[in-house]
């Protein structure tokens, strides 16, 4: 596996405390995730693809659910995050791939699970409604943690591919979170 992850003790603590956490260069991702590789995956696996809104197909965000067993790197991310934060195993946990071919924005929404977003391609802003509105920009290798219950909106500044890792269970604080 040729991925190096960088997560400081301070960032780990913030995530344990359910604080929105942004980590620039969280992962050094050497594999190219582009639309050619995405189309090849779709051709070879014929996955279920969900359209997130009624906008024209090439503008609205699309979702391929539960891809953790299709890409070794995606399973690795899920396993590492589960281990670091000691999430209980739940049947709905998993890794979803979101992509869009053009810039655009989605609806403001609230997730019922803790979500780790990892940029794979393009530039995406996340508008998160905390005490104030805050914007977080993720690119390839960046991570944004949004705990369940925080309203947020996705604003794709370009075509994009984003990995979304959702954990429905509880984190359990371990004595050693290194």
Strand boundaries in the chain, DSSP class E: 3-5, 21-23, 27-29, 50-51, 62-64, 94-100, 104-105, 114-121, 124-129, 133-138, 143-146, 152-156, 160-167
pLDDT tens track for 9-20: 999 999 999 999
CA-angle at 170, arms to 165 and 172, nearest 5°: 110
Query: How far, in Å, CA of 56 to CA of 85, rounded?
Result: 38
Superfamily covering domain 3-167:
Cupin (2.60.120.650)
User: Domain residues of the chain, as ranges?
Assistant: 3-167
pLDDT tens track for 41-56: 888 777 676 655 555 5
pTM for this prediction: 0.88
pLDDT tens track for 118-155: 999 999 999 999 888 899 999 999 999 999 999 999 98
**pLDDT for residue 177:** 47
Q: Residues 80-105: what's their mean pLDDT?
A: 91
């Amino acid at each position: 596996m040729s991925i190096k992850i960088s997560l400081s003790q301070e960032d780990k603590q913030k995530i344990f405390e359910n604080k929105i956490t942004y980590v620039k260069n969280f992962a050094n991702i050497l594999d190219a995730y582009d639309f050619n590789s995405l189309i090849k995956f779709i051709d070879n696996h014929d996955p279920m693809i969900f359209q997130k809104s009624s906008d024209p197909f090439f503008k609205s965000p699309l979702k391929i659910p539960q891809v953790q067993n299709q890409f070794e790197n995606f399973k690795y991310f899920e396993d590492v995050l589960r281990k670091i934060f000691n999430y209980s195993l739940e049947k709905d946990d998993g890794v979803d791939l979101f992509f869009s071919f053009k810039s655009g924005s989605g609806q403001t929404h609230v997730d019922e699970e803790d979500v780790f977003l990892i940029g794979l391609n393009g530039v995406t802003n996340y508008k998160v409604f905390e005490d104030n509105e805050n914007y977080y920009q993720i690119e390839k290798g960046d991570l944004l943690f949004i705990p369940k219950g925080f309203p947020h909106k996705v604003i794709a500044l370009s075509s994009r591919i984003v990995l979304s890792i959702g954990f429905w269970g509880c984190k359990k604080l371990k004595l050693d979170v290194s």
